[in-house]
Structure 1
Amino acid sequence: MTKLPGNAGVSLLGDKSLEFYRDPVSFCQQRIEKHRSRMFLCRLMNRPTAFICSVQGMRELLCEKSSLFLKDPTDLMTNMYGDTIVTTNGEEACLLRLSLTSHFTGSCLGSWSDYIASVCERCLKDLSVSGQPESVYTAFKSLGTELVLGLFLNVRAEKQPELFQEISQLCTQHWHGLISAPVNVKVPMWSSGFSIALDARNKLMDIIKDKLENDKEGFVGSLGSLPLPDSSSAAQHLLLFISALIPKALASLLNSFTLALGGNGQEKARRQAAEDPDYLCRVLLEVQRLWPPFIGGRRIADQDSTLMGFHVPKDFGVIYISHAVHRDPEVFQEPDAFLPERWSGRNEGHEHFLCSFGNGPRSCIGAKLTNVFLKEACVYLLNNFDWCLDPPVQNLEYKWLPVSRPANPPTVTFTQRDHTLSGRSDTS
């Protein structure tokens, strides 16, 4: 077994968490170049941690050796959401996945398609009305919020506007607890962000429990029939599914899609994506590859093991970095270039090399539903609008934690497509 390049330093003083959180992409790239390895050792969250930046290492961690590397039971996600499919390990995680999978596949996805289409039209139809630049990331977050609250909680913005706004605000407050120091402090006239998040969670749980008790329709109504571990499990999972995390991930991907296909130089690509569903799939794969909504995921070694031939001792942390994995030059030629055609050429059938939503037996249970969301929104945009950055020169750098998003939300001007002229052109 080979020793990991790099070092974990000493406790506390050697910790690199702050440097990593400031700019995880540069943090990893500098160490890949320094160690000439796409796997290296560092100290993160005051624990020796192996960083994985290659497709091979990611696949070993999440697929072949997934039973040897566990979710961290002290993770902040557990504090904020309880025991869910995302935070549990072993048999409990398997049973939860078996119970919930049917609600995210097959006929359930089909039954939601009309609602998803209606929300996309209602939220996106006015993008060109003002004639002024739109903050697309903000618009797409609103779209994502309507989708998740409507699908998972039966709360529709157009039918229950006050309840919808209340839940939206509580979800935002709860989300901020995930990015706050876990310090529960309340004093007169001030509360810590974590304390506010916990209060928001309690209020959301009251709303959710009331829904579970009284609403027998749709997703929320069907949870009562599932073989979940206890009475609180359904509520905890609903809290997870309506989290602000999902709208932010959708907004991130739709924002990246809009930028990738924006402007006159991409008009041909927009037309091809509108007319050819297979090409649209390739575009979305490339968007996901270059701009994954989540920077990666973390595990704890349950026993001594190896990854990529390197020794990983028991209790070491292991983190895979999706941004770096997706740019592994051994798998993706011209890794920094936006090339949708790669998915019908050298990388055809290689979707399993992506890890935006995890990979292997613990991958995101909602990945297929997310894909339906994205395709419906993208098809609506492509069929109804052309668009370009306005102003044409903007800072398009990304922040990568806790969800990737533009450092400065870009503004885009949309113009309504003239379907009459388009039709004449197609038949001429």
Structure 2
Amino acid sequence: MSKLPGNAGVSVLGDKSLEFYRDPVSFCRQRIDKHRSRVFVSRLLNRPTVFICSVEAMRELLCEKSNQFLKDPTDLMTNVYGDTIVTTNGEEACLLRLSFTSLFTGTRLESSSDYITSVCERCLKDLSVRDQPQCGYSVFKHLGTELVLGLFLNVRAEEQPELFEEISQLCTTHWHGLISAPINLKGPLWSSGFSTALDARDKLMDIVKDKLQNDKEGFVGHLGSLPLPDSRAAAQHLLLFISALIPKALASLLTSFTLALSGNEKEETRRRAKEDPDFLHRVLLEVQRLWPPFIGGRRLADQDSTLAGFLVPKDYGVVYISHAIHRDPEVFQEPDSFLPDRWSGRNAGQEHFLCSFGNGPRNCIGPKLTNVFLKEACTYLLEHYDWSLDPPDQDLQYKWLPVSRPADPPTISFTPTGCDTR
């Protein structure tokens, strides 16, 4: 058993949270180089914290030893969304997972496909007829919002535009609670961002509870019939499912997809992806590998344990960094290169080495729905458009928090393909 590389520092003065949140990718790269280890210790949120940047250690943390490293019950997600499948531990988390899995698989998933197709067509059909380049991230975020509110809340933009817009705005304000200092201050002339987010949450909960009481069809209806631990659980989870978190993640991945396949030099890659669904799948795996929408996740050590042969004392934090894990050179050759065919060669069958949406028994419950949506949206783009950056010399440097995307959202020109007869 080895001592962790790095230094946890002293309380408060040794905290590295500001440096980490300013640029988590550079933070990890510098320490990986310094310590010559993809597992190291520092101080985050004033707690000694182990940073996991290797596939091996990630799998150990999230799969083999998931019962030794728990979700933090004081996490900000709890304040903003309440007790949900994302924040609970132990038997309660297992029971919630069993209850919700049926809503994201099988016939429920199949019943969503027609709506997903219609949303993609409605939101993407006019990309080439507007007079100026499009901000891809904004287009894709609206697409994701239509998808989420329609599927989960039975609120469809074309049928209830005013209610759709109201909920969209509330979801955006509510989201700011995750990226604001958790200070709940309210006055006659000023309120903190966190306080404003909590007000938006309360308004959303009123809408959600009304839907659960009166809508008996679709996802809302099925959710209301699930055997959940208490009367609040359905509303809290529905609030989570309609939050801005999901549209932003989808927009992140679709933006990265369009950038990776942008320009005349990627014409052959676009052609292959359009004609071969298996190649499109590999492209999306590579997009997820290089540009995961979330930087990672956090756990707390429930007991003294080990990760990658290093001692992790009880109550230490553990953060897995998806960006670094996905570029682990022990697993991914040429880790910084966009190589979709790696997934039919050396890395064939190794999708479980990705952790964009978690991994192991506590991973995201909706990856199948996410994959259906991404493939539908990407297929529509490939069948109807070619595209390129406009202007071509834009700064594409990514910011990684709270959701990854270029710091300056790029603008893209879409032109109809030769087979598009619209």
State the TM-score bracket (shorter-chain normalisation). over 0.9
Is 64-73 or 364-373 further displaced after alignment?
364-373
1:370 aligns with 2:366: no
- State which drifts further: 123-132 or 19-28: 123-132
SS in 2 for 1:194: helix
Residue 85 of structure 1 aligns to a residue in which SS?
coil
* Partner-residue secondary structure (3-state), 1:127: coil
Q: C-alpha separation between the residues in 1 aligned to 2:209 and 2:263?
A: 47
Aligned to 2:339: 339
For residues 293-312 of structure 1, the aligned pairs below 5 Å read 293-312=293-312
Q: Equivalent residue of 1:413, what SS? A: strand
Aligned length, in residue pairs: 421
**Equivalences for 1:14-413 in 2 at 5 Å?**
14-413=14-413
Paired-residue identity, %: 81
**1:181–1:194 contact (8 Å) kept in structure 2:** yes
Post-superposition Cα deviations, 1:41-64, rounded to whole Å, max 9, x if no partner, equal: 000000000000000000000000
CA contact (8 A) 1:398 1:406 kept: yes
Are the aligned partners of 1:137 and 1:251 in contact in 2 as well (CA < 8 Å)?
Answer: yes
Q: TM-score, normalised by structure 2?
A: 0.99
Would the aligned equivalents of 1:131 and 1:413 in 2 still touch at CA under 8 Å? no
Whether contact under 8 Å (1:185, 1:191) holds in the other structure is yes
One-letter identity of the residue aligned with 1:85 = I
> AA paired with 2:372?
V
The answer (yes or no) to whether the contact 1:211–1:220 under 8 Å persists in 2 is yes
Distance of 2:403 and 2:420 partners within structure 1: 40
Is the CA contact 2:137–2:409 (under 8 Å) kept in the aligned structure 1? yes
Q: Extract unaligned runs of 5+ from structure 2.
A: none
In the alignment, residue 142 of structure 1 is paired with which amino acid? H
CA distance in 1, matches of 2:323, 2:268: 28
Contact 1:131 1:414 (C-alpha < 8 Å) held by counterparts: no
TM-score scaled by length of structure 1: 0.98
Counterpart CA distance in 1 for 2:307 and 2:345 is 29
1:178 aligned counterpart, secondary structure = coil
- 3-state SS of 1:191 partner: coil
Cα deviations by residue, 1:223-254 (Å, 9 ceiling, x for unpaired): 12111111110000000000100000000000
Instruction: For 1:100 and 1:87, locate their aligned partners in 2 and report how far apart those are by CA, in whole Å.
Output: 15
CA displacement 1:264-313 (0-9 Å, x = unmatched): 00111101101100000000000000000000000000000000000000
Structure 1 unaligned regions, length at least 5:
422-428
Structure 1: 4+ residue segments shifted above 3 A: none
Letter in 2 for 1:358: G
Judge conservation of contact 1:131–1:415 (CA < 8 Å) in 2: no
Q: What secondary structure is seen at the aligned counterpart in 2 of 1:66?
A: coil
**1:131 CA drift (Å):** 4.2
Q: Is 1:416 the counterpart of 2:419 in the alignment?
A: no
Contact kept, 8 Å, 2:389 with 2:410, in 1: the verdict is yes
- Residue 417 of structure 1 deviates from its aligned partner by 1.1
- Would the aligned equivalents of 2:383 and 2:420 in 1 still touch at CA under 8 Å? no
Instruction: Provide the C-alpha distance between the structure 1 equivalents of 2:251 and 2:104, rounded to a whole number of angstroms.
Output: 20
Contact 1:19 1:27 survives alignment (8 Å) = yes
